[in-house]
A = this chain, B = another copy of it.
Amino acid sequence: MSKNQELAAKLRQLDIKDMYENDFFLTWDKTDDEIEAIFTVADALRDLRERNISTKIFDSGLGISNFRDNSTRTRFSFSSACNLLGIEVQDLDEGKSQIAHGETVRETANMISFMADVIGIRDDMYIGKGHTYQKEVVEALKEGYEDGVLEQKPTLVNLQCDIDHPTQCMADILHVIHEFGGVENLKGKKVAMTWAYSPSYGKPLSVPQGVIGLFTRFGMDVVLAHPEGYDIMPEVEEVAKQNAAKSGGSFKKVNSMAEAFKDADIVYPKSWASYAAMEERTKLYSDGDYDGIDRLEKKLLRENATHKDWECTEELMKTTKDGKALYLHCLPADISGVSCEDGEVEASVFDRYRKPLYKQASFKPYIIAAMIFLAKVQDPAKALEELENRGKNRKEF
């Protein structure tokens, strides 16, 4: 029995009927079975590709990517995932389009989607905006489909919003699952999701939020650490608390990197802006108050600079479990003495974990492909088996 066949059999046990024709906004919208289904399909697609078996499920198909913030790795992950399934990507570059001419979200969403099978959106810049925008797009697409305007309802894949970064965090945890030899080994493991200093400001909150919202589902002891004032969205902390209660893990907050790192099995030190600051910035942008934005930026950089001691050092790493916690980062990291003078992580720590960090990232295209696969295929377990039986080579000759 091949790995893919085993995974297909496992998939058959899961209750995933609601995933068909559905969307992916936030991990905590999804049941445990649904989350597991994504890991399962991701691993199965990877196994098939490694054995040169084509996983194209579309003879022709169209995917739309809409990056409202810069991206290299997520852009390529989305392209790769679509390509793996037979979907061609057309990028909606808002600079080139008529969106600047005052089109409404609803209209544009319909106009680009007549033949779209999937739409991936990154919109992470403004608190209260990105998730809302994605919801509006999906509402418009549903209406368009019901009205007979669209031939199909494209599946939305959240490629990062202001609340969650599901493709990143699910790639992170799938990497962790592989490193720890199975999801069953995560129970009781200590995870330190901690703020770290960076000489830039305004990094999205979606990664720390996504991590505490997802990692708490696996019975782990999740600690969120940040300097005073760098709070994340309280509703996501609430999600983490409830997840922890349900999964038999724990969630707590501390104001010390050292406390978080102490005996941790996994550390995820990363810079972010505070929720309050991001809300203020969003308001200033809405008001067009550019002087205010300048003043805010300077203030935030000054504040940041008082926390240069929040750095993932060799010394701190030594305090983790057996001195060898798994170091995670969504990349690119601000590496002290390499990409900046003082940063999130000491160069020697980063270098030591380079290989696992790249592996961590390598799961993202498969996570995205799995999300699309599960939304587009009615009987995904059967489809995985048939892909293998069909045995079409991805590369001929």
Contact = CB atoms under 8 A, between A and B. Distances in A.
A115 B382 CA distance: 25
Interface string A371-397: 000001111101100100000111111
Contacts of A57: 395-397
A64 to B, nearest CB: 8
Interface of A: 46, 49-50, 54-62, 64, 67, 70-73, 75-77, 79-80, 83-86, 88-90, 92, 96-99, 101-104, 107-108, 110-112, 114-117, 144, 147-151, 331-332, 338-340, 355, 358-359, 361-362, 364-365, 376-380, 382-383, 386, 392-397
Q: Which 6 A-B pairs have the closest CB atoms?
A: A72-B97, A383-B397, A80-B115, A102-B339, A149-B358, A54-B59
A59 B393 contact: yes
Contact of A358 (B67, B147, B151): B147
B90 A90 contact: no
Nearest to A382: B397
Nearest to A77: B114
B60 A394 contact: yes
A391 B181 CA distance: 44
Given A62-B80, A75-B97, A115-B84, A358 B110 contact: yes
A386 to B, nearest CB: 7
B331 A107 contact: yes
Given A147-B359, A149-B361, A150-B362, 7 more contacts: A60-B84, A62-B79, A72-B97, A80-B115, A83-B90, A110-B361, A115-B365
Contacts of A355: 147, 149
A70 B90 contact: no
Given A103-B332, A147-B358, A361-B111, A395 B72 contact: no
Contacts of A151: 46, 49-50
Given A59-B396, A73-B111, A107-B332, A362 B97 contact: no
Interface centre among A49, A364, A394 (most CB of B within 10 A): A394
Nearest to A72: B97
Counting chain B CB atoms within 10 Å of each CB, the highest count among A61, A85, A149 belongs to: A149
Contacts of A56: 59-60, 396
Contacts of A104: 338-339
Given A62-B83, A358-B144, A90 B76 contact: yes
A150 B365 CA distance: 12
Contacts of A88: 79, 83, 88-89
